[in-house]
Structure 1
Amino acid sequence: MPEIQKKKIQFQSIIDALLDDDADFPEYFLPSFSDIEGKEFTQLVSIWNQITPERKARLFEHLEILNDTDTLMDFNNIAQLALTDPNAVVRASGIRMLWDYENEKNIPVLIELLKNDIDQGVRAEAAGALGKYIYLGEIDEISQSNLKIVEKELLRVMRSSESELVRQKALEALGFSCREEVPSMIMNAFQSGDENWLIYAISAMGRSADQVWSTQVFSMLAHPELKVQIEAVKAAGELEIKQAKKILLKFILESESDEDLWVQSIWALSKIGGENVQKVFEKLLEKAETEEDQEFLKEAMDNLYLTNGIAANFELLNLEEPDEGQMHEFDINEGEIDLDALENTWIEDLEESLEDELEGSFDEDSDEEEDDELEDGYYLEDLDSGEDLDFDDEIDSEDDEDEEELDGDESQSDEINK
């Protein structure tokens, strides 16, 4: 049988399966939607509206998972098809899948969805997706004119009466931006007292790649709400906050009950780097009980090698790393707020909580005690039953120096200029 006829019959089987609500859609058909084009795509479009909304939603749920786990898949065409689907769940899924495709032609489509889609969730996803194009603009991968268009639209949303969710996603997207209006927006959200705004503010801080936010992010590692803590962990990795190394190690060893905190702490450490972090990862890999954990730890180690390689190149070039310890004043609503001058704020309470939970990690004497505990295997006994793992002098000395910067430079205030 000719190869062309085989493919035609195979895709007809996929069409039949899509239209059959009485049976589960076979997962082995999912890769067939990658790189779909030509006659097959035309055939899919012709029956698209005959597929029930529930089945399309389930299809895209599985396609999203495959898109996230297999980098060889290219679902751009079917994601584009989803953007015009009557089902908001499918439209939102299509937007998320487009994150991996750096096509400037998507910008006007996403802006149109952000402006006019009737569903709040779709508008929020569109706002979030536009953040990718701000990032691409900042690294000169798209035209500056398109960058300005995206920034202008997201800033409009931030100043509008849009729903909180859409504005929160817009703030997160603007985290990539160097526009001078953005830092005060982030700080307003951070100080709002609203937990959801706080989470998006922390995410924006991480995306900014600006060390000026290190103190705020570091303090949130002790937040009583786990979801805020997890966002702070991710941001600490993005900002490469060295002071967070021991805290992240503590989370890794003590967060077995929460997989997300464990995963994010490991990944954040892989971004911060340090030669002896590799030893920790190797021990974790030895103890990994599932193939999924093993694969994730190998990916984290690969990322760590990349991080350490970049750091080594900086040392060879005699380049100094940016100062992470500065506290600043922020221009908010045409006024200046000095964080040190605020009394009885929840920020101070959380910083005190952080100090208590980590047995005084801001204090030099307590730092020495923690170093001794690390040397004695206090935190690492669960990793190694017979051999203590020293989480290295480099981490201890770097943490001592960096924590002194955070503690000693808090009184210095400069207005943020990005």
Structure 2
Amino acid sequence: MRPSTNTNIDIAELLVRFRDRVRASDVAQLSDLSRQSARQLRQLWPTLPVATRRRLVQMMAELAEENLALNFRHVFLIALDDDDQQVRECAIAGLWEEEDTLVLHRLLERLPRESEPSVRAALAQALGRFTELDVLGRLPLEDCRALRAALFSLLESSEPLEVRRRALEAAAVYSHDPRINEAIEEAYWSGEHALKVSALYAMGRSLDRRWLPLLLEELQSEHPAYRYEAATACGELGAEEAVDELISLTSDPDRAVQGAAIAALGRIGGTLATNVLRRLARSTDPVVRDAAEEALAEAVFASDPLRPTPW
């Protein structure tokens, strides 16, 4: 857990300035709040106009992404209980990199009290960060049980489609559980485009090669979203069987698919994939060239961490 360091701050005075204008330099002062300042902010937060609260959480998310030294966790946790749906969604998004069990507990506590489908979907997506910690054995057993129970409950058909999608994506790492494999298969064959997209994503995140035949088929789909997710999933699975088709997709008319295929070749590696990436790294197309250079670096590092990347 990161220690709170920002102790010399007058929250009331700062909020007065926010009513006039939300400046990045002022927002940065909300990073690493002390417990006392966080308590004061919680009391005064509802007094801010909703437009100001929205702007604040949005700017905090942007600043934290640009500067890793900034941490607005305390503010995001306060905003998690905001009356405004947009503020709550943005606060959840701002917590996406957090691994502290305190954050997990707050997300799980919020879930049964949340009625807005879009916010419930955001909560499911945020819980996906903690499922990774679960499978790595980095969460207490009680937290693991609560996390899994919450996500499995969100897979129920009574939940809105967007909620089920995000829950499936988050829970895909539990591929040892037959319920997950059933949910992935059901979503894939559901006839719902969005559910199928999530199913393909979940196939890759599951790291289960049972899905490879379906993924290989989807690499040739007429739908760019399916090709994109299938390419990404093949990369996650390290599927050498997909290399030939992925090479073809590096010239796909859809830019996103093209990038996914290049990235997948980098994850899969091997002589053929690496040689293709070297050629693409000399492309006159800057988008292709940049993507290929990044993928090539990954492929070379995986094969020999001490070897420099030759373009």
Q: Deviations over 1:215-246 (max 9, x none)?
A: 11222222222222222222122112223334
* 1:204-353 equivalences in 2 (<5 Å): 204-255=202-253, 258=255, 260-275=256-271, 277-278=273-274, 280-281=276-277, 284-285=280-281, 287=283, 299-309=294-304
Q: Does the 8 A contact of 1:206 with 1:238 survive in 2?
A: yes
Q: Does the 8 A contact of 1:124 with 1:165 survive in 2?
A: yes
Q: Letter of the aligned partner of 2:193 in structure 1?
A: E
Which of 122, 125, 130 is residue 127 of structure 2 equivalent to? 130
Q: Does the 8 A contact of 1:270 with 1:307 survive in 2?
A: no
Name whichever of 189-198 and 111-120 sits farther off: 111-120
Which of 192, 195, 198 is residue 194 of structure 1 equivalent to? 192
- Give the equivalent residue in structure 1 for 2:90: 93
- Give the equivalent residue in structure 1 for 2:156: 159
Alignment partners' CA distance in 2, 1:205 and 1:155: 17
Distance 1:87 1:262, change over 3 A: farther
Which has the larger Rg? 1
What's the % identity of the aligned pairs?
Answer: 24
Which of 142, 154, 169 is residue 172 of structure 1 equivalent to? 169
SS class of match (2:218):
helix
Distance 1:286 1:44, change over 3 A: farther
Q: Does the 8 A contact of 1:237 with 1:269 survive in 2?
A: yes
> Any gaps of 5 or more consecutive residues in structure 1?
1-6, 313-388, 390-418
Distance 1:13 1:288, change over 3 A: farther
| 2:105 aligned with 1:108 | yes
CA positional deviation for 1:86? 1.4
The TM-score with structure 1 as length reference comes to 0.62
Alignment partners' CA distance in 2, 1:15 and 1:190: 48
- Give the equivalent residue in structure 1 for 2:142: 145
Alignment partners' CA distance in 1, 2:281 and 2:196: 34
Alignment partners' CA distance in 2, 1:282 and 1:133: 36
Distance 1:287 1:40, change over 3 A: farther
Q: Does the 8 A contact of 2:77 with 2:106 survive in 1?
A: no
CA RMSD for the aligned pairs?
3.3
Q: Letter of the aligned partner of 1:221 in structure 2?
A: L
Distance 1:18 1:138, change over 3 A: same
Distance 1:197 1:71, change over 3 A: same
- Report 1 or 2 for greater relative contact order, CA contacts < 8 Å, sequence distance ≥ 6: 1
- Give the equivalent residue in structure 2 for 1:19: 19
Q: Does the 8 A contact of 2:265 with 2:274 survive in 1?
A: no
Q: Does the 8 A contact of 1:275 with 1:308 survive in 2?
A: no
Distance 1:41 1:159, change over 3 A: closer
The TM-score with structure 2 as length reference comes to 0.80
Alignment partners' CA distance in 1, 2:233 and 2:47: 44
CA positional deviation for 1:281? 4.7
Q: Deviations over 1:223-282 (max 9, x none)?
A: 222222222222122112223334333333344x63x33433333222222356455555
Alignment partners' CA distance in 2, 1:40 and 1:282: 53
CA positional deviation for 1:139? 1.0
Distance 1:52 1:236, change over 3 A: farther
CA positional deviation for 1:162? 1.8
